[in-house]
Structure 1
Amino acid sequence: MQPSIETLFEQNVDRTNSNSIKWDKYKGRDILPMWVADSDFRVPDAITEALHRHVDHGVFGYGSAPQRLTDLLVERMKQRYNWQIEPDWIVYLPGLVCGINLSVRALTESHQGVISPKPVYPPFMSAAKLAKRPLDISPVRLLNHRWLMALEQTDISANAKLLLFCNPLNPGGTVYTREELESVLTFAEQHDLLVCSDEIHCDLILDEEKQHIPFASLNKSAEQRSVTLIAPSKTFNIAGLGASIAIIPNPALRRRFMKAKAGIIPDVNVLAFTAAQAAYEHCEPWLDLQLAFLRQHRDTLEKEINAMPYLTLEHIEATYLAWIDASSLPVASPFKFFEQAGVGLSPGADFGNSGFVRLNFACNSKTLSEALRRMRSAIEQLPATK
């Protein structure tokens, strides 16, 4: 019998003594942690059972990627995203962030620049800084109530070489259409850019009429200039295990990537491989239920946030992350204001806009309702709203 949505996602899982960075941040304080992008949901039983079998075996020596996992990835890309990839394009990584940093270091020379959207997931901008590469910004703007890179407003340097791209967009939750992706490709072709496309949220499409399209699947030009980064980590809540994937069709780019990785980036651990294989092989029904649950939360958030004074939330097409415009709040820091009210959000400054906050709604309904109540109450206490 298939478990219900309520059984799977309404549990009150106590994470306070599990070495969770999300929950330990506010340990001992009455602040709901709704910041870093992991969910509060137990993983599907098939993943837990596969891990138990591996643990019961009792040996944890050096491992390699299971052939079955590679086969599943090839099959998954074809069936879900109509993208035919080859097994030798796949490079396994112990995390997606290292894939972003490797792409910067492997695909650019020291004098060549990186283009990043802004606001965006913080490692995009820090990767260029850590590698001591020049950084150009492509501003993210609202267009017909959707957050998109304003490529025409990008002040691109002559030596720019790598475009960091995020689809679905984090923050903002935009799912790029084919036409929008083709505009990104045209921009890359015009400026002879390589593209590192972070697609870690590709499985978390909330608008049922929308379809994730991998950038590299557009045509041969996109394929041969790209590194695509994906992972089961956000989809199935196994980020702490460290299983990510780079898909690099161009053999020359792949060799450069592997050379930069050698001796610095460790191999993926055996339990991460076990969890990833179980996720992709057995957990699609669980994912379907999770998406239905997240859609309910998304709809609640959009209604409740937009009913509060000073706050605006544009429609979230994908991810479980709400990018809330709090720039009209009569406070110095929206992040600190809500933290003092007992809601721990991600500060917009980390992404490039201090007037915003990001809220992770991958939690049970009780937690979400209480967070919204605290936010509403805090706003109502402001002098201008009394």
Structure 2
Amino acid sequence: MNFDFATRIDRRQHPTKKWQQYDEDVLPLWVADMDFRSPPAVLDALESRVEHGVFGYGGVPESLKQALNDWSRHHYDWTIDTAWQLWVPGVVPALNLAAMAFSEPGQGVLTATPIYPPFLSVADNVGREAQTFELAEPVTAGGPWRLDLEALEAAIQPNTRVLLWCHPHNPTGRVWSADELQGLARLAVRHDLIVVSDELHCDLILDPSQPHRPLGQLCPELADRLITLWAPSKTFNIAGLSAACAIIADDDLRRRFQIAAAGLMPGVNVLGLSASLAAYTDCEAWRQALLGELRDNLAMVEAHVSRWPGVTMSTPEATYLAWLDFRHSALADSPQQHLLEEARVALSDGADFGWPGFVRLNFGMPRSWLEEALLRLDRLLSD
């Protein structure tokens, strides 16, 4: 089937965070949503649900739970149970709820930097102690970021209770190796940590040689201390429909999560439920076409970055996000601000991820828009 990833869609006609944060002459390549239309099957499902005309309090259909079970087994060889699934309005609320449910006030919530900014505010949001450690930078320019297990263990304090983990990783695009994940699991067991694994980008693998392995599948010894967060939102570009799933195998952990959510977490958007079911049952061909488009876009980004003195990037193995190191460039002091003011391209500021001197670039957009943005950056950055 042929899918349209080329049409530019005017997103300013509706209020949208990505396109209305900056002036109209700015090309926004920052917040992590794509500028492609959602899959036709998703749009058809939404049209059918809207035609019904009633939008009262909904429930999670068994067909959706079974669809996620089937998706997990088919794509990741991980057998999950419908009873493990707690559908929630989003991954970020789930991160905060997990920290609240599985730690006490003053206890530590640990995460690695650089990291998607909402991770860094979880501890303060729920009255816990924020704890961080640094990922290991690439050994060579453009190489992969790595999990430094010694740094992780050194950061674990007597009061550390929850580890927030991102797999595949946002912003570096890293798909963690089995050795890294198994090492993390050993430390979690040794130090009695609850692990919250955000696997939001798992269906966006760009490097076929680096397949995603769910932490729960690779490390079954974590079953009584693991919360896995999944959602179709990034892959199928339906983030605004607010539907995600916390997968919790352990009965006690699941009960505690439900208690924490009671009265604080609303039910999942009824349109989000319909869109999620369509995504997991009828959109695999679209997803594969999307991955081809993203790989071509990534190649374009890499070609342009190679022309920019002092700028490097590690090739992302997953996601539609590129993590650019400007620390050795002429714009090292504040690259995001320079690029915004002088090139009129909006990227995400690395300081918000805990690493100043970097920017994150979203290449999930029609190629003509991406090329226009990269040419603007060329004029500022090239020799």
Q: If the length of structure 1 is used for normalisation, what is the TM-score?
A: 0.95
Distance 2:220 2:292 in 1: 35
Kept in 2, the 8 Å contact 1:138–1:149? The answer is: no
Two-structure CA RMSD over aligned residues (Å):
1.2
1:365 and 2:377 matched: no
Alpha-carbon offset, residue 81 of structure 1: 0.6
Contact 2:164 2:196 in 1 (8 A): yes
How does 1:9-20 map onto structure 2 within 5 Å? 9-20=5-16
Q: Which whole-Å deviations, capped at 9, do the CAs of 1:80-101 have from their partners, x for residues lacking one?
A: 1111111110000011100110
- C-alpha separation in 2, matches of 1:379 and 1:304: 10
Does residue 1:174 correspond to 2:169, yes or no?
A: no
1:138/1:151 contact within 8 Å kept: no
2: CA distance between counterparts of 1:240 and 1:352?
26
Contact 2:149 2:180 in 1 (8 A): no
By how many angstroms is 1:288 displaced? 0.2
Out of 73, 77, 84, the residue aligned to residue 89 of structure 1 is 84
Counterpart of 2:371, as a letter, is S
SS at match of 2:268: coil
Equivalent residue for 1:249? 249
Q: Which segment is superposed worse, 10-19 or 196-205?
A: 10-19
Unaligned runs of 5+ in 1: none
Measured in 1, the distance between the counterparts of 2:323 and 2:47 equals 37
Figure out how many residues of one structure are paired with residues of the other and give that number: 376
The aligned runs of 1:1-386 (5 Å cut-off) are: 2-4=1-3, 8-27=4-23, 29-144=24-139, 145-154=143-152, 155-331=155-331, 332-340=333-341, 341-380=343-382
Q: TM-score scaled to structure 2, two decimals?
A: 0.96
What secondary structure is seen at the aligned counterpart in 2 of 1:204? coil
Cα offsets for 1:38-75 (capped at 9, x unmatched): 00000111111111111111111111001110000111
Tell me how far apart the structure 2 counterparts of residues 101 and 175 of structure 1 sit (CA, whole Å): 24
Q: Moved runs in structure 1, 4+ residues, more than 2 A? A: 329-332
Flag the 1:157–1:119 CA change in 2: closer, same or farther, 3 A: same
Q: Give the partner amino acid of 2:87.
A: Y
**Any stretches of 5+ residues in structure 2 without a counterpart?**
none
Distance in 2 between residues matched to 1:283 and 1:320, nearest whole Å: 18
C-alpha distance in 2 between matches for 1:100 and 1:378: 39
Partner of 1:138, secondary structure, is: strand
Q: Secondary structure at the match of 2:131?
A: strand
- C-alpha distance in 2, partners of 1:365/1:39? 12
- Which amino acid in structure 2 is aligned with residue 190 of structure 1? R
Measured after TM superposition, the shift of residue 192 of structure 1 is 1.3
SS of the aligned residue for 2:234 comes to: helix
Q: Which amino acid in structure 1 is aligned with residue 358 of structure 2?
A: F
Q: Percent identity?
A: 43
